[in-house]
Structure 1
Amino acid sequence: MQHINHPPPGPLQRRGLLRAAGAAGLALAAGGASWAQGAGGWPAKPVNLVVPFPAGGGTDAFARPLAAQFAKSTGKTLVIDNRGGAGGTVGASFAAKAPADGYHLFMGGTHHVIAPSMYPRLDYDIEKDFVPLALLASVPQVLVVNPRNISASNFRQFLDFLKANPAKLNYASAGSGSSHHLAGELFKLQTGTFITHIPYRGAGPALQDLIAGNVDMLFDGLGSSAAHIKGGRIKALLVSGAKRNPAFPDVPCAAEVGLPDYTVSTWYGLWAPRGTPADVQARIVEEIRKLGQSDEVKTIWAGNGAEFGTLSQADFGKLVGNEVKRWAQVVKASGAKLE
């Protein structure tokens, strides 16, 4: 192999090399600083969290305690931005267009995997415009009634009344196309009953009207109803699924009363806009996992009858895709429509 000996650089060449080396060092330093701010230094400022329902609903029941723990853990504020409307799709549309910088996040859930089958003209795609980060909470659906409107002391009495009095009772929901709505439609399908659907702009307003006696019943995520059940303002007749909930051991589960396929659950997850850097995503997921292990979050989740998500980021993404397909089948079978 031939070796070529270059002459040593002259003074002008040495100054050029030094300037080039300095520029390269600054670029590396800037790159390091950028990475530190983007991932290792996240969060360097307040983080905005879009909650696509009015305050007081099921999403809020988990978002606000999470925000409190986030502030304790990071020293930064997690700003709750309630943007309700159209079964959670108004807030989702807004969040999908936010900067993909790790400082704009979205907390959605079951509603947002139902929406593609209910809203044919959505201007966002939950699977394409967002990056799934973490499953935050999973709670069973609970059938709650106003005890002043409905005198049944247990679920079987209630079901007998429903069958004998079609269309006499109504149920509230967080909006057409929400999980509350589809839980009601699935219940009607599996029990052969008819109940009039009354949509609201979020679970919070629906729950308040139930407590006031303006509506008869609600298929709700246990997280938002738990405190009101314990306070006696509403009565729980049934939890979905194959087992009773530890927070409410006296409330029968669906499988016990002859509804083994009524397995509706309400879950809440965290997304970021598509394009959020992978290292920033990893830092956010790491922080969420840490929050889920805190005693405060464990206590609040247990009190709401909820479990903190343990899925990996990839598995949460698979859950979202599977749920989109599952609820499309329920929408088709039930004939549910926007109202």
Structure 2
Amino acid sequence: MIHRRALLAAGSAAVLAGTARAQDAWPTRPVSILVPFVAGGPSDIVARVIAQRMSMTLGQPAVAENRPGANGEVAARAVARATPDGHTLLVGSIGVFAINTALRPTLGYDPVREFAPITLAVTTPNVLVVNAQRVPVNTFQELVAWLKANPGRTSYSTSGVGSSDHLTMELFKQETGTDPTHVPYGGGAAAATDLIAGNVQLSFQNLGTVAAHIQGGRLKAIAVTSRQRHPVLPEVPTVIESGIADFEVTSWQAAMAPANVPAAILARLNAEATAALKHPESVQRLEQIGFTVVAGSAADYSRFQRAEIGRWRRVVQTAGIRPE
């Protein structure tokens, strides 16, 4: 019995020593943070905030690399198949880590099984906006009544099929019994531009995309999808305030590593990424463009991600949405 205990103790010590060595050894070369979209978007901004701060603390460069394609699938597949040693990471969106799996049954990666969570980085609400010249309403209830009074004659813009703003509108339609026609665009900027031009009447858009247009009077904000009013638009009520219980929707960005990265390295990645995001300069920069920094535990993000996948799968199935 004593011999067996000694062996178990020795084995435990070896595991702890190996874990410590793995953590101490990482990183041994530059850390690549893949971004599944072009430069300048939310995922790119968050990845560069993390990379900048991590480069100051790791002793190795951390480099954000844009790898766009197939609505995030190109970068996601590359990271899922990378060596799980903590040197290749992915910062992606709600689309990459939740909506894609609900929308595309033949998706070439599994955002749960093939990745290890690091942290939910930031969230931002969508904003229900209208063209004030085309839609003579001021409140959420007035908008719903107007849509019901004009069936088949209204349309809404989105940044693309399966985007956060698309599914938010589909959820709105399901909750209100309205049915404006979907007009997808190649990004939020184009969707907002055509709304301003009056070619469509309404849209749910990311706060960062439309805040300046709202403040400049080019669009009218009807409601935000956060649980509480947002400090960027404190006078705009929430959808929950406006009568739809639990209508909380956020567009979000998260950091992931390939599955099977050693636990010690994952813990270090969480510590480094959350410290980078919570740095006062990072918080100021991100909040200025409408993001709320979360930067929590890997376990909290894992639970959140699974709930989001289930939620948007139900919306996709109810709406009968098919990828283009």
TM-score, normalised with respect to structure 1: 0.78
User: What's 1:249 paired with?
Assistant: 234
> CA RMSD, aligned part only?
3.1
8 Å contact from structure 2 (residues 123, 253) kept in 1: yes
| Range with greater deviation from structure 2 (162-171 or 123-132) | 162-171
User: What's 2:79 paired with?
Assistant: 95
User: What's 2:14 paired with?
Assistant: none
- CA 1:40 to 1:234, structure 2 compared with 1: closer, same or farther past 3 Å? farther
Q: Which runs of 5+ in 1 are unaligned?
A: 1-30
User: What's 2:312 paired with?
Assistant: 327
Which amino acid in 2 is paired with 1:168? R
Q: Give 1:73 deviation, angstroms.
A: 4.7
Counterparts of 1:1-16 in structure 2 under 5 Å? none
8 Å contact from structure 2 (residues 117, 298) kept in 1: yes
Q: Give 1:150 deviation, angstroms.
A: 4.3
Q: Give 1:190 deviation, angstroms.
A: 1.0
| Range with greater deviation from structure 2 (129-138 or 101-110) | 101-110
- CA 1:51 to 1:208, structure 2 compared with 1: closer, same or farther past 3 Å? farther
8 Å contact from structure 2 (residues 115, 259) kept in 1: yes
Q: Give 1:202 deviation, angstroms.
A: 4.2
Match of 1:50 among 11, 17, 34: 34
Q: Give 1:51 deviation, angstroms.
A: 2.2
Which amino acid in 2 is paired with 1:334? A
Overall identity of the aligned pairs, in %:
38
- CA 1:333 to 1:202, structure 2 compared with 1: closer, same or farther past 3 Å? same
- CA 1:191 to 1:58, structure 2 compared with 1: closer, same or farther past 3 Å? farther
8 Å contact from structure 1 (residues 105, 273) kept in 2: yes
CA distance in structure 1 between the aligned counterparts of 2:186 and 2:73, rounded to whole angstroms:
11
- CA 1:311 to 1:79, structure 2 compared with 1: closer, same or farther past 3 Å? closer
| Range with greater deviation from structure 2 (62-71 or 276-285) | 62-71
CA distance in structure 1 between the aligned counterparts of 2:62 and 2:210, rounded to whole angstroms:
27
Structure 1 residue 293 corresponds to structure 2 residue 278: yes
Q: Give 1:240 deviation, angstroms.
A: 1.3
Which amino acid in 2 is paired with 1:261? D
Q: Give 1:200 deviation, angstroms.
A: 3.5
Number of residues paired by the alignment? Answer: 307
User: What's 1:338 paired with?
Assistant: 323
CA distance in structure 2 between the aligned counterparts of 1:287 and 1:172, rounded to whole angstroms:
38
8 Å contact from structure 2 (residues 73, 108) kept in 1: no
1:110-150 deviation digits (Å, cap 9, x = unpaired): 22312222111111111111111101012222223445554
| SS in structure 2 of the partner of residue 62 of structure 1 | helix
1:290-310 deviation digits (Å, cap 9, x = unpaired): 112211122123333432224
User: What's 1:144 paired with?
Assistant: 129
User: What's 1:155 paired with?
Assistant: 140
1:20-59 deviation digits (Å, cap 9, x = unpaired): xxxxxxxxxxx99x977x6335445443222223334333
8 Å contact from structure 1 (residues 172, 217) kept in 2: yes
- CA 1:206 to 1:83, structure 2 compared with 1: closer, same or farther past 3 Å? farther
Rg larger in structure? 1
Structure 1 residue 135 corresponds to structure 2 residue 120: yes
8 Å contact from structure 1 (residues 56, 204) kept in 2: no
CA distance in structure 2 between the aligned counterparts of 1:316 and 1:222, rounded to whole angstroms:
22
8 Å contact from structure 1 (residues 182, 336) kept in 2: no
User: What's 1:266 paired with?
Assistant: 251
Which amino acid in 2 is paired with 1:226? A
User: What's 1:198 paired with?
Assistant: 183
8 Å contact from structure 1 (residues 58, 224) kept in 2: no
TM-score, normalised with respect to structure 2: 0.81
Which amino acid in 2 is paired with 1:129? E
8 Å contact from structure 2 (residues 44, 66) kept in 1: no
1:90-125 deviation digits (Å, cap 9, x = unpaired): 432333223323222112232231222211111111
Q: Give 1:74 deviation, angstroms.
A: 4.6
| Range with greater deviation from structure 2 (270-279 or 200-209) | 200-209
